[in-house]
Amino acid sequence: MNNQSKLEIESAVYDEFLGLWSQGKFEKQRLGQAFYNHFRLHQLTNQAYLQGLYEADGEKALLAITRLFQIK
């Protein structure tokens, strides 16, 4: 994974997701799971790149997101 570049997400779109998360719009989902579903990451071919994101919650999910994605 170190030789792959990060995927990019616009900061406005990411902030919108975080706003929805803080409003409780992803009831009964972990943060990583909500992020994965919200951004439809199932459509990406290389699912190995995203390993661990879906299962992550809280701080672990935020760390995984910053490790995998560049917020621009």
Residue 18 to residue 61: CA distance in whole angstroms: 12
Q: Is residue 60 part of a domain?
A: yes
Q: Is residue 14 part of a domain?
A: yes
Q: Who has greater pLDDT, 2 or 56? A: 56
pTM reported for the whole predicted model: 0.91
List, for residues 24-54, the tens digit of each pLDDT value. Answer: 999 999 999 999 999 999 999 999 999 999 9
Return the bridge partners of 71, or none.
9
Q: Is residue 65 part of a domain?
A: yes
Q: Is residue 2 part of a domain?
A: no
pLDDT of residue 5: 86
**What is the count of structural domains for the chain?**
1
Q: Residue 36: which domain range? A: 7-71
pLDDT of residue 34: 98
Residue 72 burial (CB count, 10 A): 11
User: Could you tell me how far CA 21 lies from the centroid of its own chain?
Assistant: 12
Q: Is residue 1 part of a domain?
A: no
